[in-house]
Amino acid sequence: MNNAAFDVRPLSVGAEILSLDQNAPLSVATREALYAAWLEYGILLFHGVDSNERHIELSRVFGDLELHPFPEIRYKEEPLFIELGAKSPGNVYIFDGSDMRAGRLPWHRDTAFTRDICKGAMLRLINVPPVGGETMLADTALAYDALPDVMKQRLEGLEYKATLRLGPETQSGAGSFWTSVRRPTPEECPDGTYEPDVASRYPAVIHPALLTHPESGRKCLFLSPTYVDYFLGMPQEESDELLDALTKQMTAPEFTYKHFWAPNDAILWDNRRFIHAAMGHDPKYRRWGLRTTLAGPVQTGRFFDPTATEWTGLAVAD
């Protein structure tokens, strides 16, 4: 791409950045071209990001970084990172009767339980399990474009209520891949896998179903299936049907990319445009990574209960 020091190879959706020397400084031309590629493709996959410093430097090409709302998962050495798989195996559940997996996450948009949904995130895996642990990403701008006009009109001005849910219940709603999920019994569960329930700290929020992307002007389906309670002003049954239909639309194979990780791969997603899911892995393997979060500036949300207040507890003590 012009003066830039890399090549771009499109993936099924998104693009891979090739031939970028991860030890070389990033010139202004390279930064600008990376940003332009990100806006065009919505996901950039980097390889060989072999230091935390480079991970931060690359992330900053795309905007200011912010702290993640969960203080517990911030990386002690650099709190602008969150750690995935720190408490290995963490979050272990039994899926479809007998399939025990750690780290599985259904389709979601990051920080969609807050009023100011983050701009993006860059996830880098350092320890990759020998099998499993893939990440899937779905382009909600392409999914919107492909909707029939009548559906596009139905979504105009529509809002939804969203609540953070992290336990088994959130694993079985729209956007999940399995038929049942339950917590393992203490006997089944390796040490230290019960997570504290942090969901109650975050008051429910309202967001629009559609977002006009502030930079590209493209319309995106702005849903995080995992957290949606219902569309405002719609009976629950109708709301569930609509959420189901839109989730199927967003996650249709032609709008998704599935990443099979190698160590020090880093994926940057535009969180305004993409949703993502983690397939999970056998808890006997380690899967560890770090992730940055790009700050706003999409401020589309408000508290469902106007008298609700933001949780600041541990953030202050941190």
Q: Are strands 159-162 and 205-208 parallel, antiparallel or unpaired?
A: antiparallel
Partner touching 84 among ligand AKG, Fe ion, none, CB below 5 to 8 Å by kind:
ligand AKG
CB of 186 to ligand AKG, least distance (A): 25
Q: By C-beta, is 8 or 126 nearer to Fe ion?
A: 126
Which of 180, 173, 151 lies closest to 247 in space, CA to CA? 173
CA distance 104 to 245: 22
User: What binding mask, one character per residue, do residues 101-130 give for Fe ion by CB under 5 A, x or -?
Assistant: ---------x--------------------
Spatial strand order of the sheet with 135-139 comes to: 105-108, 274-278, 135-139, 256-259
CB of 175 to ligand AKG, least distance (A): 12
Q: By C-beta, is 16 or 110 nearer to Fe ion?
A: 110
User: What binding mask, one character per residue, do residues 256-295 give for ligand AKG by CB under 6 A, x or -?
Assistant: --------------------x-x------------x----
Radius of gyration of the chain (CA): 19
Straight-line distance from the first to the last Cα atom of the chain, in angstroms, rounded to the nearest whole number: 43
CA distance 118 to 138: 17
CB of 110 to Fe ion, least distance (A): 4
Phi, psi of 17 (to 5 degrees): -95, 120
Partner touching 265 among ligand AKG, Fe ion, none, CB below 5 to 8 Å by kind:
none
Identity of the amino acid at 231 = F
Q: By C-beta, is 83 or 110 nearer to Fe ion?
A: 110
Which of 291, 297, 123, 121 lies closest to 211 in space, CA to CA? 297
Burial (Cβ within 10 Å: 0-12, 13-18, ≥19) of residue 238: exposed
Structural element, H or E, at residue 317? helix 313-317
CA distance 120 to 226: 18
Q: By C-beta, is 219 or 276 nearer to ligand AKG?
A: 276
Q: By C-beta, is 67 or 151 nearer to ligand AKG?
A: 67
Partner touching 55 among Fe ion, ligand AKG, none, CB below 5 to 8 Å by kind:
none
Partner touching 101 among ligand AKG, Fe ion, none, CB below 5 to 8 Å by kind:
none
CB of 121 to Fe ion, least distance (A): 7
Q: Are 216 and 145 in contact (CB under 8 A)?
A: no
**Segment interacting with ligand AKG (CB under 6 A) among 102-110, 177-185, 186-194, 215-223:** 102-110
The number of residues that bind ligand AKG (CB under 6 A) is 10
121 lies in the binding site for ligand AKG (CB under 6 A)? yes
Q: By C-beta, is 166 or 209 nearer to Fe ion?
A: 166
CA distance 141 to 135: 19
CB of 291 to Fe ion, least distance (A): 8
List binders of ligand AKG among 168-187 (CB under 6 A).
Answer: none
Q: Are 5 and 30 in contact (CB under 8 A)?
A: yes
Q: Which residues bind ligand AKG (CB under 6 A)?
A: 84, 103, 105, 110, 121, 123, 135, 276, 278, 291
